[in-house]
Structure 1
Amino acid sequence: MDYAHERAGGADDGRVVAGIDEVGRGPLAGPVVAAAVILRPQAMPRGLHERLADSKTLRPDIRAEIAAALHETCTVALGQASVAEIDTWNILNASHLAMARAVEGLGIAADFALVDGNRLPALPCAGECVVGGDGKVLSIAAASIVAKVARDRMMCTLAESHPGYGWERNMGYSTAEHRAALARLGATDHHRRSFRPVREALAS
């Protein structure tokens, strides 16, 4: 993984290039969270770019360490779409909404966006989709890490007020533990009612 996509987007010529990724399309509960990251290679600690990778391949403690360094040395913003928005607009549209909010939250106008996936959301700048971008593009990998750390922390906080579902472990995903808790305890306000396992639990 290198800086080639950012360079192609004009980063070396002074254009502001942001990497965007989202976390949380699949869970039964909780918001979908996106991050936008503008890398600052000269300000980043030595070796940090070599540690950037798809967030799913990194241990939680490593993700948290890298996310902290990115927040300190790069331009980073988060966006999210609520459970209500997911249920209203569907998860794809809600994910795109979270991505747009992340870009708008950067505090600086991006000239170009590199987006993980195969569908480009409506953004305030031009952009390019990169399938598997979190494993190919440095700024997208950075965004995947920042978004994952942020969303995991949200779910751990929610787990404190909604015990029994195991959100501090499963982050709202459809694990056997989570589905069993749905059947036993029912759905919370944080469950996505447009997702079949939640609908089935409510109907039973």
Structure 2
Amino acid sequence: MKFDFFHDLNDDIIGVDEVGKGSWSGPVVACSVLLDKKILHTEIFCKINDSKKLNKKQRINFSKVIKSNSVYAFGVISSEIIDEVGIQKATELAMKISLKKFSNANNKIKIDGKKFFSLEKEHEFLIKGDQKSVSIASASILAKDYRDNIMELLSKRFLGYDWENNSGYGTPKHIAGLKKLGVCSEHRKSYKPIKKLLNR
């Protein structure tokens, strides 16, 4: 990993990432993070990487340490709103909500992905940003952990879709649950696989 990955810490960069765009159910969640330099002295700092590469136990542990050494905020947009405005707009809204906490700050903002909206403040979109920026990677970890917790809670209300394990993504168990139980209120009706089931 290049040193540049960790350079954000010197420049007080706010990192932004989302999780849940490809999920068939539940919300899309964004997180904005401003790391404190004291995180340098934690044992996880040099191991921070994209949340998708961490197992659940690691992610929970990393999430606790990042939260203790940062200022952070989440933006959550429901499946209902996703169906109304589309996933791209919903992701933008989630990111902008998460950035409200930093409305009085003048820090540069780095956002994961291709540019798809603008901000008045200095900002930069980075493709595969979670592999290039420690701030974005930290936001990715917090967003994933937060959304997984939401999906676990929803799995207790909507049994049979295995959301506690698949986080709403289209796994064989989720598909089996849909075939057996049909579509529930937390499913994204605008998504092709769900639309297909509704149009049968």
The verdict on a shared fold, with TM-score over 0.5 as the criterion, is yes
* 1:83 matches 2:79: yes
For residue 42 of structure 1, the aligned residue among 38, 54, 79 is 38
Mapped partners of 1:107, 1:122: distance in 2: 15
Q: Secondary structure at the match of 2:38?
A: coil
Q: Secondary structure at the match of 1:128?
A: strand
Judged with a 3 Å threshold, the aligned counterparts in structure 2 of structure 1 residues 68 and 151 are, in CA distance, closer, same or farther, namely same
* 1:141 matches 2:137: yes
C-alpha distance after superposition, 1:177-204 (max 9, x if no partner): 1122112211111100000111111122
State the match for 2:150 in structure 1: 154
Shift of 1:125: 2.0
* Contact 1:100-1:122 within 8 A present in 2 as well: no
Shift of 1:132: 0.6
Q: TM-score, normalised by structure 1?
A: 0.90
C-alpha distance after superposition, 1:87-106 (max 9, x if no partner): 11111111111111111134
State the match for 2:187 in structure 1: 191
Mapped partners of 1:2, 1:108: distance in 2: 31
Judged with a 3 Å threshold, the aligned counterparts in structure 2 of structure 1 residues 121 and 80 are, in CA distance, closer, same or farther, namely farther
State the match for 1:169 in structure 2: 165
Judged with a 3 Å threshold, the aligned counterparts in structure 2 of structure 1 residues 104 and 124 are, in CA distance, closer, same or farther, namely farther
Mapped partners of 1:67, 1:107: distance in 2: 23
For residue 13 of structure 2, the aligned residue among 3, 14, 17 is 17
Question: Match of 2:156, as an amino acid?
Answer: E
State the match for 2:125 in structure 1: 129
Mapped partners of 1:85, 1:46: distance in 2: 39
C-alpha distance after superposition, 1:53-90 (max 9, x if no partner): 01000011111111111111111111111112211111
Shift of 1:136: 1.4
Q: Which runs of 5+ in 1 are unaligned?
A: none
Question: Match of 1:86, as an amino acid?
Answer: I
Mapped partners of 1:180, 1:81: distance in 2: 26
Shift of 1:45: 3.7
Q: Secondary structure at the match of 2:196?
A: helix
State the match for 1:70 in structure 2: 66
Shift of 1:12: 4.2
State the match for 2:90 in structure 1: 94
Mapped partners of 2:41, 2:156: distance in 1: 35
Judged with a 3 Å threshold, the aligned counterparts in structure 2 of structure 1 residues 30 and 95 are, in CA distance, closer, same or farther, namely same
* Contact 2:4-2:132 within 8 A present in 1 as well: no
Provide the identity percentage.
34
User: Which deviates more from structure 2 when the two are superposed, residues 141-150 or residues 183-192?
Assistant: 183-192
Shift of 1:111: 2.6
Q: TM-score, normalised by structure 2?
A: 0.91
* Contact 1:96-1:122 within 8 A present in 2 as well: no
Superposition RMSD on alpha carbons, in Å?
2.0
Q: Secondary structure at the match of 1:143?
A: helix
Q: Secondary structure at the match of 2:152?
A: helix
Mapped partners of 1:110, 1:2: distance in 2: 26
User: Which deviates more from structure 2 when the two are superposed, residues 87-96 or residues 18-27?
Assistant: 87-96
Q: Secondary structure at the match of 2:37?
A: coil
Q: Secondary structure at the match of 1:151?
A: helix
Mapped partners of 1:154, 1:116: distance in 2: 22
